[in-house]
């Protein structure tokens, strides 16, 4: 008689939760993913590189080859429309293997590639959970009760799981960086001169990325001390009209089209989540729920994916050890993942100090420097930043690591890769 697979309940069908379900299957687990709504196409533009890229390649996600596209030039303009600099994607990512995709598109591709051991249940809400018996229990809206050996909170920056099980730290775990951002996508053609355009003004940045099917992914970042706080109920697009200033024709046109099409923007303060630990008993936080790497770091989604693979590897290593083995695996997983996450968070703090100059004099000086620097010099600086992010994202191995459970990262030259199930010869 075959032994029943251990079971994980995953709250959240985002990139972290879906990747975890995929790799848990490789570790001999089954999983149930609970999501309160459908997965939506489009969303924020992501560049997956470093450990996340290697994890994604090992997964062989169906349909992924139809999603990525190569950005050509990124044109940076002033609020008056003057070109400050033009930088090629290949120059800034020289030697770095990466994929470009919208968040929602990647999530849909991941969902379609899940094994039979993983089930997604949409439009489901949790009523109560309990972790003090032989099994973790979760009561769903309507009274249905699920039992599991592990509960994964992959429900994003405003995690319900974190609020429930880390209540003592919730009020102090959000570290504000002094910025906010908004993302949305819109179907519109013939607006952008280049595949990527950015507009800089004092304390503000508006960036647009050309996607397939005439879609444009928009990203707005602004300093909280530049934009006056909003009071009372405020419509999302009223906020965006204020933070963008709506004086740039391209920005105005895209914003108007998005509002007319009913695209719902995600608006959020830029925050880091800093917790003393990411697991308690048989409950673990994954991705943004645990650490929330901001848009300042290009490794947020990628590190969520790499982290999920490492988690599965550690759980596989303690197969048959029951609840004690799960707790031991979570401890080992965090010891490996926390160092790169903390390095990336530190970089976000450093970038935040001077990312967008607040006043006009500082902004004018920065714009003048950007305009005077030759394009190859700008490319070199940006390329160094990309390489630094990947270096910071490298996942540490434990000194006493069993070679059969190593998570080996592929080198930038494409060599030396070993997946979760491959054996050491």
120, pLDDT greater than 60 = yes
Hey, what are 195's tokens?
Answer: 């595949």
Q: 421 — phi, psi (to 5°)? A: -95, 0
Residue 254: its pLDDT value, please? 94
- Cα–Cα distance, 99 to 49 (Å, whole number): 7
Model pLDDT for residues 228-281, shown as the tens digit of each residue: 766 655 678 888 888 887 788 999 999 999 999 999 898 889 999 999 999 999
More confident residue, 388 or 201: 201
- Cα–Cα distance, 127 to 403 (Å, whole number): 42
Residue 419: its pLDDT value, please? 35
Question: Residue 411 — pLDDT band, cuts 50, 70, 90?
Answer: very low
374, pLDDT greater than 60 = no
**Interior angle at CA 185, CA 181 and CA 188, nearest 5:** 135
CB atoms within 10 A of CB 71: 18
Helix (H, G, I), strand (E, B), or coil: what is residue 187?
strand
Q: Is the dihedral of CA 314, 317, 323, 327 positive or negative?
A: negative
- Cα–Cα distance, 361 to 116 (Å, whole number): 59
Residue 81: its pLDDT value, please? 82
Model pLDDT for residues 125-142, shown as the tens digit of each residue: 999 999 988 899 999 999
Helix (H, G, I), strand (E, B), or coil: what is residue 109?
helix
Residue 107: its pLDDT value, please? 95
Residue 115: its pLDDT value, please? 96
């Amino acid at each position: 008689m075959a032994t029943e697979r251990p079971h994980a309940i995953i709250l959240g069908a985002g990139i972290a939760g879906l990747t975890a379900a995929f790799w848990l299957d490789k570790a001999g687990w089954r999983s149930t993913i609970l999501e309160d709504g459908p997965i939506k196409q489009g969303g924020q533009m992501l560049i997956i590189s470093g450990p996340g890229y290697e994890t994604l390649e090992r997964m062989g996600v169906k349909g992924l080859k139809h999603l990525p596209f190569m950005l050509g030039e990124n044109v940076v303009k002033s609020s008056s429309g003057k070109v400050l600099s033009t930088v090629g994607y290949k120059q800034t990512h020289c030697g770095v293997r990466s994929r470009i995709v919208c968040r929602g598109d990647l999530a849909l591709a991941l969902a379609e590639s899940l094994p039979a051991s993983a089930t997604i249940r949409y439009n489901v809400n949790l009523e109560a959970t309990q972790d003090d018996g032989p099994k973790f229990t979760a009561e769903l809206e309507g009274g249905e009760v699920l039992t599991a050996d592990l509960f994964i909170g992959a429900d994003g920056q405003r995690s319900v799981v974190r609020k429930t099980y880390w209540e003592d730290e919730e009020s102090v775990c959000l570290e504000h960086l002094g910025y906010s951002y908004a993302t949305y996508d819109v179907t519109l053609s013939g607006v952008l001169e280049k595949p990527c355009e950015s507009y800089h003004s004092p304390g503000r940045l508006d960036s647009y990325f050309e996607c397939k099917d005439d879609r444009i992914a928009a990203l707005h970042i602004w300093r909280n001390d530049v934009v006056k706080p909003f009071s009372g109920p405020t419509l999302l697009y009223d906020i965006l009209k204020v933070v963008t200033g709506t004086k740039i024709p391209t920005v105005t046109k895209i914003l108007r089209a998005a509002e007319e099409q009913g695209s719902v923007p995600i608006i959020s303060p830029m925050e880091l989540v800093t917790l003393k630990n990411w697991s308690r008993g048989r409950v673990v936080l994954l991705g943004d729920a645990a650490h929330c790497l901001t848009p300042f770091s290009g490794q947020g989604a990628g590190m969520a994916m790499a982290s999920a693979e490492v988690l599965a590897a550690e759980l596989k290593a303690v197969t048959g050890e029951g609840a004690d083995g799960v707790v031991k695996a979570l401890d080992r997983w965090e010891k490996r993942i926390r160092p790169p996450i903390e390095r990336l968070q530190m970089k976000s703090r450093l970038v935040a100090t001077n990312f967008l100059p607040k006043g006009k004099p500082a902004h004018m000086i920065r714009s003048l420097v950007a305009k005077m620097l030759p394009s190859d010099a700008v490319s070199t600086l940006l390329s160094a930043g990309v390489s630094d992010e990947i270096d910071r994202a490298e996942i540490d191995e434990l000194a006493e690591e069993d070679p059969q459970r190593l998570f080996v990262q592929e080198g930038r030259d494409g060599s030396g890769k070993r997946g979760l199930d491959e054996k050491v010869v």
